A and B are shown apart, each in its own frame.
Chain A
Amino acid sequence: MAYDKFNVLTSTAYPLPTENVDTDQIIPARFLKATERKDFDINFFRDWRFNQDGTPKPDFPLNKEIYAGSKILVGGRNFGSGSSREHAAWSVYDFGLRCVISSAFADIFKNNCLNIGVLPVQVSASFADKLFDAIFADPKTEIKVDLPNQTVTLLSTGESETFEINSYKKDNMLNGFDDIDYLKNIENEIAAFAETRPF
């Protein structure tokens, strides 16, 4: 599915320092029954955002008015562990987020994000702590994520760190391309390869 190009993003951020946030929290299984990709924001962090009677939990960061409209989520270590459901990444996107920053991501979640145009930015644990401290001290703290230069900057102090992304994926994100575009272009090469498989 085509997505918006990603270049430089400057935004405030939602802080969620809990570690090992798994995809069952990001979107519980009972909300995976759709056959179309739409409106996954409604159940994003459903059981952490809402009580069982549907009333919002005011203390949960994603419900706090002071962060509303942020396009970045700063998450705790090992963000997105567990299930391979891409619905988790869709819900991140549908909630209006374009970037998740963490000191460590689970592999499949990270991959899923890259495939749908959400940029996962992995930073050092100490830089993640700085981001949390800055956001908690001032919710209006802005973070600049610069994909062409692969840097993430805390604008209040100017502190900055570089992040890794391979040049293929970077190119895709900058241009809004995805893997299927690439693979369809080398169809013949794949077909020739398939002929060589023993089973």
Chain B
Amino acid sequence: MTKTLFDKVWDSHVVRSIEDGPDVFFIDRHFIHEVTSPVAFLGLESRGNSVVYPERTFATADHNTPTINQHLPVADPLSANQLNALERNAAKYGISHWGLGDKNNGIVHVVGPENGITLPGATIVCGDSHTSTHGAFGAIAFGIGTSEVEMVLSTQCIMQPKPKKMRINVNGKLGAGVTPKDVALYIIAQQTTSGATGYFVEYAGDVFEDMTMEGRMTVCNLSIEMGARGGMIAPDAKTFDYIKGRSQTPKGEDWNKAMKYWETLYTEEGAEFDAEFNYNASDIEPMITYGTNPGMGIGVTKSIPNAASVEGGVETYKKSLGYMSFNEGEAMIGKQIDFVFLGSCTNGRIEDFRAFCSIVEGRKKAEHVTAWLVPGSHKVVDQIKAEGLDKIIANAGFELREPGCSACLAMNDDKIPAGKLSVSTSNRNFEGRQGPGSRTLLASPLVAAASAVEGVVTDPRTLLQTA
């Protein structure tokens, strides 16, 4: 049988299949963080189990961590308690732990690839839905619940029925000012927030082949926002270059052996998908969301659609616009904003900071805008400094914070106040996602930068600095 990339990786990890039931699915790499793991460890202990393969689990602290003064004790006692629990559990079971202040610390989906833990053809899970990020390397990676975290710790397997397969092809060349984030938001707008539920997506075509690894991570990261379990891209020379030599990547003979496997990881001619979609790069412009789910996105120059023209319930649509204080038919360009958030596992990598700087260089932050620039990891911070981007950022009136999830989810101190409007490079614009009552517009780092300097929603193409 001709196989897809997804089939090859999935099938090679099935320990056994249960008739009219799930597959027993082996997990190569498991990431844990402070929020979704403590109860899993409690469960493990109450059953008298232990961690079977501690070397396959990696712990990092990110969701709860402050993004200023990380050298001081964490002020919120509940956050501190979770962070301590993670550290204690990791130590107790011999799991590597990158806590606050560790040079390898950062957002789980940023530090995994940076350290070569994320590998092609691997199965990767984490108690976090954006685990789909790691699919950029040709891995099968997806989010799991805490019961499953306990399963992986105590058995290294979970039980999953094999999802259906979808391929999304985007061909052609992206226009100036159009980024991987825009490609993803465009696809989600076409698919809606639930269009890919039950599917695992493979992204194929020129646009993804041309994309950097950072860009591919942004796209795969957002797969979950159309309901897909995950998304993946076949590994190529760019993938192998990226992982080669990283601290946890196989070396020497192990590398050669792994390469032999990795080179088989592509979808064979004629392999079948349960669903397939084709989009043109030239139809994609810089995107922005206007509602309360990531599927509610439009080209930044467009107006908010009328309720009659959207799929789904009119009541829900109106409730969403009501929450945003927007009206049908309004233009997005020119809306006054209060906050800008650059960061998260979607857009907190070096390339995102380069993009942001390409717009703000030689310009100034609008006075009324509060901007939070939060690198995804310490390695990203180091790279920002090595490239001198920190100077550009400072000269334009911005400040760089310390790594973490920050305003992506309103769990730490970085919360957008009620009613305030934020252009955010993160992944979710749900009600209250960035703080109770906060209003979020999802966009690329370029749109965020242009809006930060103009103080209103801005099409970045009007500010592109051509050489």
A and B are interacting partners: yes
Bound-state CA distance A1–B251 (Å) is 40
Interface pair A83/B129, CB less than 8 Å apart: yes
Contact of A24 among B20, B78, B127, B432 (CB under 8 A): B432
- Chain B residues in the interface with A (C-beta under 8 A): 15-16, 18-22, 24, 26, 28, 35-36, 38-39, 42-43, 46-47, 49, 53, 63-64, 76, 78-79, 81-82, 85, 119, 122, 127-129, 131, 143-148, 150-151, 154-161, 163, 193-194, 197-198, 227, 229, 250, 254, 257-258, 261, 293, 312-313, 315-316, 319, 409-411, 418, 428, 430-433, 436-437
Interface pair A116/B147, CB less than 8 Å apart: yes
26 contacts between A and B (CB under 8 A): A17-B315, A20-B194, A20-B293, A32-B63, A32-B411, A52-B418, A77-B312, A77-B313, A81-B227, A84-B128, A84-B145, A85-B145, A87-B146, A89-B145, A106-B194, A106-B197, A107-B197, A112-B147, A166-B22, A167-B21, A183-B155, A183-B157, A183-B159, A190-B15, A190-B26, A190-B157
Residues in B neighbouring A183, C-beta threshold 8 A = 24, 151, 154-155, 157, 159
Residues in B neighbouring A81, C-beta threshold 8 A = 193-194, 227, 293
Counting from the closest, the 9 A-B pairs by CB-CB distance are A168-B21, A86-B145, A84-B143, A33-B78, A112-B145, A35-B38, A115-B147, A78-B194, A183-B155
The residue among A19, A29, A108 with the most chain B CB atoms within 10 A of its own CB is: A29
Interface pair B79/A33, CB less than 8 Å apart: yes
Interface pair A35/B194, CB less than 8 Å apart: no
Residues in B neighbouring A178, C-beta threshold 8 A = 147
> Which residue of A has the minimal Cβ distance to B262?
A198
Interface pair A187/B410, CB less than 8 Å apart: no
Residues in A neighbouring B39, C-beta threshold 8 A = 34-37, 86
Interface pair A33/B410, CB less than 8 Å apart: no
| A 15-60 contacts with B by CB, 8 A | 17-20, 22, 24-25, 28-30, 32-37, 47, 52
Interface pair B42/A194, CB less than 8 Å apart: no
- Tell me how far the C-beta of B430 lies from the nearest C-beta in chain A, rounded to whole angstroms: 4
Bound-state CA distance A24–B129 (Å) is 12
Bound-state CA distance A34–B34 (Å) is 10
Interface pair A180/B155, CB less than 8 Å apart: yes
A154 interfacial by beta-carbon distance below 8 Å: no
- CB contact under 8 A between A107 and B409, given known A180-B151, A180-B154: no
Residues in B neighbouring A166, C-beta threshold 8 A = 20-22, 161
- Tell me how far the C-beta of B108 lies from the nearest C-beta in chain A, rounded to whole angstroms: 12
Bound-state CA distance A24–B64 (Å) is 16
The residue among B79, B146, B150, B431 with the most chain A CB atoms within 10 A of its own CB is: B146
With A20-B193, A52-B436, A84-B127 known, 14 other A-B pairs at CB within 8 A are: A1-B147, A20-B316, A30-B436, A33-B79, A33-B81, A104-B197, A107-B197, A111-B148, A112-B147, A115-B148, A180-B147, A183-B151, A184-B49, A187-B155
Interface pair B431/A47, CB less than 8 Å apart: yes
> Which residue of B has the minimal Cβ distance to A88?
B145
Bound-state CA distance A108–B163 (Å) is 12
> Which residue of A has the minimal Cβ distance to B84?
A35
> Which residue of A has the minimal Cβ distance to B122?
A199
Interface pair B411/A194, CB less than 8 Å apart: no
Interface pair A47/B161, CB less than 8 Å apart: no
Bound-state CA distance A115–B22 (Å) is 13
Bound-state CA distance A180–B145 (Å) is 14
- Tell me how far the C-beta of B400 lies from the nearest C-beta in chain A, rounded to whole angstroms: 24
Contact of A82 among B155, B198, B258, B428 (CB under 8 A): B428
Interface pair A189/B148, CB less than 8 Å apart: no
Interface pair A32/B35, CB less than 8 Å apart: yes
> Which residue of B has the minimal Cβ distance to A84?
B143
Interface pair A168/B20, CB less than 8 Å apart: yes
Bound-state CA distance A111–B319 (Å) is 28
Bound-state CA distance A74–B185 (Å) is 30
Interface pair A199/B428, CB less than 8 Å apart: no
Interface pair B145/A111, CB less than 8 Å apart: yes
- Tell me how far the C-beta of A30 lies from the nearest C-beta in chain B, rounded to whole angstroms: 6
Residues in A neighbouring B16, C-beta threshold 8 A = 186, 189
